[in-house]
Each structure stands twice: as C-alpha cells, then as structure tokens.
Structure 1
Amino acid sequence: MCSCLFRLLQLFSTCVAFSLVADMGIRRGAIGNWSMSFWCVCFVVTLIISIIDVCELWSRFRYFWCNFSITYACYATLICLSASIIYSVTYVQFLPYGPYRDRAIAATAFSCIASVFYALDVALMRNCYDFDDVTCYAHTMPGLLKVLETFMAGVIFTFLSYTSLYLDRPALEWCVAVYSICFVPAALAIVLNLGKWQRRLPGPFPLFQLVLSLLSVLLYVSALVLWALYQFNEEFGGQLQRSSDMGCISGLTYNLCFWDRKLTVAILTAANLLVYMADMVYWARQVSVGTRGQSNAPDPFHSQEVSLQSSVSP
C-alpha cells in the first residue's frame, strides 16, 4: 500500500522523539511528560493501524476505515505540531546549553517531521484506498472544522488539569462546563459521520448541526468573557500582570506557571470560538440553500452514498 512508507516514517519519528525525551529522566519535567505521552500514543495507534492495513483486516468495513484513518491522521498532525510548539516555547528555550538541550531540540525536530508525514498522509491516503466516488468526512470543510473543535477542546482540558485554576469559583467552573458541553456534540458529529449514522436522526442533519453550532457559539462567548474577567481583572480576583504570579518569575520550573496556563486557555477559547463561528456560518448557508427549493438535491455529506447507489443500480 502506498501509505506504508509514510507510516514507517511516522513510527520512526515519534519513536525517536519519545526516546530522546524519556532519556532525559527527571529533567524532562511536566511538559516533557505531556509531550512524551502524546508521541507515545501516536506511535501506538499508528502501529495498530499499520498492522490492520498490512493484514487487510479493514476489507469488511472499508468505508469506515478510510474515514477513521484519515481522521486519525488529522488529529496526529495537530498533536505532533502542538507538542512541538508547546515543548519548544515553554521548555526547550529555558534549558541551559548542553546535552539535555540538544536532546530536547532533536526531539522537537523529529516531532515536527512526524507532523509533516501525518499531514502528507491526510492528503494522499484517499488515493491509497482507491475511493474515487467517496468523499471522506475529514476531507470536507465541516469535517475539518469538527476535528479542530474537538482538538482545541482537548488541549484546553490538558491545561485545565490543575483544578486550582477554577475550583470554588462558580464563573470559572461554568467555563469548564462549557468546554465539556460543546465537546460532546462535536465528537458525536464525527462519530455519526464516520459510521454513516447521521440519517438516523429524527430531523434534518444540517438543521441539527446549525442548532448545535449556534448554541456552542453562545456558550463559548460566555466562557471567553467570564474567563477573561475572573482570571485577568483584578476587580474579580484575577491577575493582570504576569509578574504578579510568583511561579512565573523563577525561570525554569519544569512546568507552566498558573498565569501562563490561564492565558493559554483564553487564547484557545478565542480560537475555538472562531472555529465554531465558521462552522455556524457553513451550516446556516446549507440550511438556507435547502429552504430555497433545493431540498431534492443530494446533501453534500451524503453525495458519496448517492453515487454508490447509482453505480450499483441497473
């Protein structure tokens, strides 16, 4: 299969990045452990997918497998890229010159290489399965938006691993609840499209997505406003200046200080809000097109099913 070369390079890159950081011992810090865990997950999942592909165990569920493989490659691209950026910005640059710094730089480089190979896999994998008449969900605009929504929410959850950032503060607890509430429908939409179960919903799928995206935009707006007020406004108990957080002053602490975590969550919230807004605009356009007398036209997401049925009909 034409993707075998990419898979080997992905396995090699993630394995080297994982090994270099693991060899640093206690000096790898919390950020190193975080990055190392993601490289390890990418290596294991890629290995499992490679074994299934080589043994051709996917032949009985080929359409689901095509969508799943490409969707995973999208997530792996984002995971390796984000790990490279976060690891280098928050940790590597603070290391003193020496062998540990060289290993950290090499691990970052191999993580970037892995993200490139995963991105190439996303672009070329569709041709590997020879599905000229099937549009994989991750290759569509709403599919990519859903991948970004769930990925950014996952990164936000990672930075919220320290519960002291929001516990016993109802406004901030509401923000965490918003991230969870919006993550579930986005992940559900991906699962429904991977299994072609979206038509089992009681109503039109575009309208269902429009309502969810509109609700998510409203919830994320509230989360962005409340998070900024209660984390960075001194009148609400926040810290406006980074220097006010004593944990951020002491150089390399092998961990992100609380103020940096707060700022990162705020940036990711704003970015994810933009993604949800783009998703809402897309589905609003789909619904408006459907209400202008084009209800008999095939849905963009189900065109592959229509083409498959027409190809087998006499």
Structure 2
Amino acid sequence: MDPQGGPYLNKKALCSPLGAARLCQLAMGCAVIAMVTHSAGYSGSQGVFCMAAWCFCFAMSVVVFFLDATRLYSFLPLSWDNLTVTCAAFATLMYVTASVVYPLFFVRSECPYAGCEVRDFRIAVSVCSILGTLAYGAEVVLCRARPGQIVVGYMATASGLLKVVQGFVACVIFGALANGSQYWRYEATVYCVVVYASCFALTALVVIMTLCKRTRNVCCMPFDRFVVVCTLLEVLLYLSASVVWPVFCFDPKYGSPSRPSSCPQGKCPYDSKVVVAVFSFLNFGLYTADLIYSQRIKFVSSNANS
C-alpha cells in the first residue's frame, strides 16, 4: 500500500480514456519500430530523423506509463501533470513531422527494387505513425485546461502548449540556420540568430520553471505576470527578426530575390533562408497568440497546492 492507503498500482493508468490513449501510443510506437527494422527500412538524414523520433517518443511513453501505473511519479521533484502534458505535446509534434517526412521520402506508388512487400510495409508504417499522432493528440486534448478554468498545471493551458510548439519551431529554425544559411554574412542576420536563441532560451526557462514547480514569484512578480512580460518581449523580438531577415536575405542589394538555377536541391542556401523566414513568421504568430491567451489564465502556484 502507498502512504495514502491506496493500492500500489494505479488502475486509472489502464481503465481510463487517458490510459487508453497511452496504451495506443505504446502499441503504435512498437508497431512502427518493429516494421521499420523488419522490412520497411530507412536511410539518409530524413530516415534517421524519423526513426529517432519514433524511438524517443516510444521510450518516453514507456517511462511515463510505468511511472503512472506504479505511482512512482510521486517521488519525483517535478510537477507530474505539467511533465506529462509537455511530453505528449512534444511527441505529437515529433510524430506529425515523421508522419509527413517518412511517406514523402520513402513511399512510392510503384514497387521499389526490393519488391512490393517493402512498399506495403512502408505504407503500414505511415498509417501507424498517423494513428500514433492521433493517440498523442488525444492525450493533449484530455489534459488540456478549458478557458477560464483555474489551473495549477500551466503547461495544460493553451499558453503552455503554445510554449512547446514555439520551442519546436525554434528547433526547425536552428536546423535551417545550420544547413548553409550563411547567416554570418551580415550583422543584421547575426542579430536575427541572437533573437531566435534568446527567445528559445526564455521559452525553455518558463517550461523548466513550470516543470520544477518554481511558479510562486519570479523577479519580485507573480509567475503569470513574468510569463506575460517574457511573451511580450518575445513578440517584439520576433517582429523585428521577421522584418530584418527577409530584407537581408531576399533584397537584391544583399541577397537573391529568387532561387538560383544552379543551386543544388536540398543543399541551397536560398532554401534554408526561405525556411527560416517562413518559420520566423510562424513563431511570431504563435507568440502573438500566446500573449493573447496568457491574459485569460487564472493560474494557481503549484507550490501552494503540492
């Protein structure tokens, strides 16, 4: 028996909609990894990314399910509700990306040289990956706080979930910057990189503080006000970067307004610059939505209720 007099195992980990969603995550993750390693296969950086995403999410789901079923999460110095919804949101994004990348690069209507069996396995992998996406998305929906609801778990709010998406989009931007974007050519584009890194650091700080239950007061102000101040700063910084980056990358005075014909597909600096520009605008929109949603949060410090 546990200290509260209940059973060691948590029946809700199995007999609940949330438990069913997590079991589906495990089943789809296991099926995808088994089929890819058995016959579907993967290659190149795209395939490695997909396999890494599936394996990471599967391992994360195993740990979450085990800790929830055995109630061992009560011994962790972390906010369990915030941690699980953060993991589910991040896994949803990873699965969405893998569910697009894998069929795009590996599924063809005609049979490859290895035969139609490989094609069929790859189609099955894509289907199971999509089902896994729905399973992780279902957990996010089940754990999400409703508007106007007084909540302890900040990460369950729309603002908290947007923080996960913002961090994921920032990682895409960093990947494009590292892929021959030539951002070092101008001080203005270096400034944009500093903006992306600073905003990512602030977002990660808010998430880490929430997971570690450090949500009472920050810099002599309530946590919810601290989040709003950070978000407003990030909106202003992304607004400047969303203007500066396209000017210094696509204006004829500094860069190229169109894709050079001699540029190799997949290894062209212009492509990386376009990705950075598009996702900069996307993150600007996400931070703006975050700022709007954060005004509606009625947040209760987890320290006061733990």
Q: Do they superpose with TM above 0.5?
A: yes
SS in 2 for 1:235: coil
**C-alpha spacing 1:101/1:4, structure 2 compared with 1 (3 Å):** same
Q: Which amino acid aligns with 1:17?
A: V
Contact 2:99 / 2:130 at 8 angstroms: preserved in 1?
yes
Give the aligned partner of residue 272 of structure 2.
261
Note the C-alpha offset of 1:245. 5.1
Q: Structure 1 residues 93, 245: closer, same or farther in 2, change over 3 A?
A: farther
In the alignment, which residue of structure 1 is the partner of 2:283?
A: 272
Normalized per residue, the structure richer in helix is 1
Question: Is the CA contact 2:238–2:280 (under 8 Å) kept in the aligned structure 1?
Answer: yes
Instruction: Give matches, 1:1-314, under 5 Å.
Output: 1=13, 2=16, 3-22=18-37, 28-60=43-75, 64-89=79-104, 91-92=105-106, 97-98=111-112, 99=116, 101-124=119-142, 135-201=152-218, 202-241=220-259, 244=261, 246-248=263-265, 258-283=269-294, 285=295, 300-302=298-300, 308=305
What is the one-letter code of the residue matched to 1:217?
Answer: V
Contact 1:234-1:240 within 8 A present in 2 as well = no
In structure 2, how many angstroms separate the alpha carbons of the residues matched to 1:17 and 1:260?
31
Q: In 2, distance between residues paired with 1:42 and 1:245?
A: 39
- Does the CA contact (< 8 Å) of 2:107 and 2:122 recur in 1? no
Distance 1:146 1:10, change over 3 A: same
Shift of 1:76: 0.7
Any idea what SS the aligned residue of 2:178 has?
A: coil
| Displacement after TM superposition at 1:142 (Å) | 1.6
Distance 1:256 1:263 in 2: 13
**TM-score with structure 1 setting the length:** 0.76
State the 1:21 CA deviation: 4.4
Distance 1:265 1:110, change over 3 A: farther
Once the two structures are TM-superposed, the CA of residue 186 in structure 1 deviates from its matched residue by 1.1
Contact 2:181 2:270 in 1 (8 A): no
Query: Is the contact between residue 133 and residue 304 of structure 1 (CA under 8 Å) also seen in structure 2?
Result: no
Matches of 1:136 and 1:24, distance apart in 2 = 40
- Deviation of 1:65 (Å): 1.1
Q: Tell me by how many angstroms 1:57 deviates.
A: 0.4
Contact 2:215 2:303 in 1 (8 A): no
- C-alpha separation in 2, matches of 1:17 and 1:259: 34
CA distance in 2: counterparts of 1:82 and 1:114, whole angstroms: 12
Mapped partners of 2:293, 2:144: distance in 1: 24
Matched position secondary structure for 2:244: helix
Q: Secondary structure at the match of 1:196?
A: coil
Structure 1: which 5+ residue stretches go unaligned?
A: 249-254, 287-298, 310-314
Mapped to 1, the partners of 2:58 and 2:28 lie a distance apart of 9
Deviation at 1:168, TM superposition (A): 4.0
Is the 2:25–2:135 Cα contact (8 Å) retained in structure 1?
yes
SS of 1:58's equivalent? helix
Change (3 A) 1:66 1:158: same
Q: Deviations over 1:244-276 (max 9, x none)?
A: 35312xxxxxx5754443322222111110111
CA distance in 2, matches of 1:230, 1:57: 52
Q: Which one-letter code corresponds to 2:284 in the other structure?
A: L
**1: CA distance, partners of 2:129 / 2:293:** 33
In structure 2, the residue corresponding to 1:160 is in which secondary structure?
Answer: helix
RMSD: 3.2
